[in-house]
Structure 1
Amino acid sequence: MKTIVITGSTDGIGKLAATKLAKDGHQIIVHGRSEEKLQKTLAEIKEISGNTSVDGVISDLSDFGSIQKMIAELKKKTPKIDVLINNAGVLKSSIPSNNDGLDLRFAVNYFAPYLLTQGLIPLLKKSSSPRLINLSSAAQAPVSLEALEGNIALSEQEAYAQSKLALTMWSFYLSQKLDFLNVIAVNPGSLLNTRMVQEAYGQFWSSADKGATILYDLASSEAYNDSTGQYFDNDKGTFSKAHTDAYQQEKLERLIAETKKILKV
Structure 2
Amino acid sequence: MKNILITGSTDGIGKLVAIKLASEGHSVYVHGRNEGKVEKTVAEIKFSTKNENVDGFVADLSELDAVKRMAEEVNAKLSHIDILINNAGIFKTAEILSKDGLDLRFVVNYVAPYMLTKELLPLLEKGTDARIINLSSAAQSDISYAAMIGKQRVSLNASYAMSKLALTMWSFRLAKELEKVAVIAVNPGSLLNTKMANEAYGQHWSPAEKGADIQYDLAVDEAHKGVTGKYFDNDRGGYANAHQDAYNEDAINQLIDFTNKLLRN
The answer to which of 255-264 and 148-157 deviates more is 148-157
- How big is the shift at 1:4? 0.3
Q: Give yes or no for contact 1:14–1:212 (8 Å, CA) kept in 2.
A: yes
Q: CA RMSD in A?
A: 0.9
Q: Is the 8 A contact 1:5 1:28 kept in 2?
A: yes
Task: Check conservation: 1:149, 1:262, Cα contact below 8 A.
Answer: no
Matched with 1:165 is 165
1:217 deviates by 0.7
Could you tell me which residue of structure 1 aligns to residue 185 of structure 2?
A: 185
Identify unmatched segments of 5+ residues in structure 1: none
TM-score, normalised to structure 1, is 0.98
Runs of 4+ in 1 over 6 A off after TM superposition: none
What SS is found at the alignment partner of 1:231? Answer: strand
- Return the offset for 1:145: 2.0
- The residue that corresponds to 2:25 in the other structure is 25
Summarize deviations over 1:108-160 as a string: whole Å, max 9, x none.
00000000000101111111321100000000001112222332122111000
Whether 2:98 is the aligned partner of 1:109: answer: no
Partner of 1:222: 222
The corresponding residue for 1:39 is 39
Q: Secondary structure at the match of 1:72?
A: helix
Matched, 1:92 2:86: no
Query: What's the CA shift string for 1:59-83, capped at 9, x where partnerless?
Result: 0000000011101111122100000
Shift of 1:226: 1.9
Partners in 2 of 1:87 and 1:3 — Cα distance? 16
Residue range with higher mean Cα deviation, 24-33 or 120-129:
120-129
Q: Deviations over 1:21-59 (max 9, x none)?
A: 001100000001111111111111111111110000000
Residue number in structure 1 paired with 2:50: 50
* Paired letter, 1:37: K
- Aligned position for 1:81: 81
In the alignment, is the contact (CA less than 8 A) between 1:137 and 1:188 conserved in 2? yes
Q: What code does the residue aligned with 1:36 have? A: G
Cα shift at 1:166? 0.3
Distance 1:7 1:190 in 2: 20
CA distance in 1 between partners of 2:180 and 2:257 (Å): 22
Q: Distance in 1 between matches of 2:154 and 2:76?
A: 39
| Partner residue in 2 for 1:259 | 259
1:6 Cα deviation from its structure 2 partner: 0.2
Q: Which amino acid aligns with 1:253?
A: N
What corresponds to 1:176 in structure 2?
176
Instruction: Report how far residue 200 of structure 1 moved.
Output: 0.3
Distance in 2 of aligned mates of 1:34 and 1:148: 25
Give the letter aligned to residue 28 of structure 2: I
Report the AA paired with residue 103 of structure 2: D
| Deviation (angstroms), 1:95 | 1.0
Contact 1:175 1:229 in 2 (8 A): yes
Q: In terms of mean alpha carbon deviation, does 67-76 or 101-110 score higher? A: 67-76
Structure 2: how far apart are the matches of 1:208 and 1:93?
Answer: 21
State the AA in 2 paired with 1:142. Answer: D
DSSP-derived class of the 1:184 partner: strand
Q: Which amino acid aligns with 1:239?
A: Y
Count of paired positions:
265
d(CA) in 2 for partners of 1:145, 1:173: 19
TM-score, normalised to structure 2's length? 0.98
**Partner Cα distance (1:252, 1:148) in 2:** 15
Q: Is the 8 A contact 1:136 1:187 kept in 2?
A: yes
Give the corresponding residue for 1:209. 209
Whether 1:13 aligns to 2:13 is: yes
Structure 1 match to 2:139: 139
Which residue identity lines up with residue 63 of structure 2 in the other structure? D
Segments of 5+ residues of structure 2 without an aligned counterpart are: none
Which amino acid is the alignment partner of residue 31 of structure 1?
H
